[in-house]
C-alpha cells in the first residue's frame, strides 16, 4: 500500500520499490530507522545529507541546493532505467501537496489486472505477477535544462519546471 510515510526525501516512492514489495528481507522504506535495512539504503547520500537533516526538511525540494548533484544523478538513473523521475515527483509534491501526490501514485502504480502495486524497478505486479508498461505521471511537470550561475562557483545545468 502506498502512503505518505513511504515517500522518501528524494521523491522516490518506496511503496513501489522491489525491496519493499518482495516477500523476504523486506525494506520498511527510507524514512523508517531500521539497522536491518540494506547497506545501500543505510549509506544513501541523499537520505543521510547533512543539509537535509540539519534543516529539518522532509523533502529535498525544500533545500536551496535543489536539485543537488546527488538528486540529479538519481533522477537521471531512474529516468533512464525505470522511466520515472524523482525530481518530477518532488515538484508534484511541492505543487499538489503530499496527500494529492500519494492519491495520484495509488492510481499510477495500481495493477490494471488485480489492483495490486506495480514495481517501479521490474514493471511487474507483486500481487498477480502481471507485467506492465512503465507508468508516466499524469500530473508531471514538463522539464527542460536551465543554465544559471551557482553561488558556489561556476555554471550549472539543472532540471527545472517550466513556468
Sorted by sequence, the CB contacts under 8 Å of residue 147 that are 6+ apart come out as 155, 156, 157
Per-residue confidence (pLDDT) for residue 48, from 0 to 100: 76
pTM of the model: 0.75
Per-residue confidence (pLDDT) for residue 117, from 0 to 100: 92
Distances (CA, A) of 121 to 12, 18, 60, 82: 12, 6, 22, 6
Extract the runs of DSSP E, i.e. beta strands, from the chain: 143-149, 155-161
Per-residue confidence (pLDDT) for residue 2, from 0 to 100: 83
For residue 26, being part of any structural domain is answered with yes
For residue 156, being part of any structural domain is answered with no
For residue 153, being part of any structural domain is answered with no
CA neighbor of 17 nearest in space, from 30, 32, 34: 30
Greatest extent of the chain over all pairs of C-alpha atoms, in Å? 52
Contact present, 92 and 101 (Cβ < 8 Å): yes
For residue 147, being part of any structural domain is answered with no
- Domain hosting 115: range is 4-137
For residue 25, being part of any structural domain is answered with yes
For residue 82, being part of any structural domain is answered with yes
pLDDT in tens, the chain (163 residues): 788 899 999 999 999 999 889 888 888 888 877 766 666 666 778 877 888 778 788 899 998 889 999 999 999 999 999 999 999 999 999 999 999 999 999 999 999 989 999 999 998 998 888 887 655 544 333 333 333 333 323 344 344 433 3
For residue 151, being part of any structural domain is answered with no
For residue 159, being part of any structural domain is answered with no
Query: What's the total number of domains in the chain?
Result: 1
Per-residue confidence (pLDDT) for residue 38, from 0 to 100: 64
Amino acid at each position: 500500500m502506498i502512503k505518505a510515510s513511504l515517500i522518501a526525501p528524494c521523491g522516490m516512492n518506496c511503496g513501489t520499490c522491489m525491496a519493499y514489495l518482495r516477500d523476504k528481507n523486506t525494506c520498511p522504506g527510507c524514512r523508517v530507522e531500521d539497522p536491518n535495512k540494506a547497506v545501500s539504503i543505510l549509506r544513501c547520500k541523499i537520505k543521510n545529507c547533512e543539509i537535509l537533516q540539519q534543516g529539518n526538511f522532509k523533502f529535498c525540494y525544500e533545500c536551496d541546493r535543489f536539485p543537488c548533484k546527488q538528486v540529479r544523478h538519481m533522477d537521471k538513473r531512474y529516468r533512464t532505467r525505470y522511466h520515472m523521475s524523482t525530481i518530477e515527483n518532488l515538484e508534484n509534491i511541492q505543487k499538489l501537496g503530499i496527500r494529492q501526490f500519494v492519491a495520484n501514485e495509488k492510481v499510477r502504480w495500481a495493477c490494471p489486472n488485480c489492483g495490486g502495486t506495480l514495481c517501479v524497478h521490474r514493471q511487474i505486479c507483486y500481487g498477480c505477477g502481471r507485467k506492465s508498461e512503465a507508468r508516466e505521471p499524469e500530473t508531471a511537470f514538463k522539464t527542460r535544462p536551465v543554465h544559471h550561475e551557482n553561488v558556489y562557483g561556476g555554471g550549472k545545468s539543472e532540471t527545472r519546471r517550466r513556468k
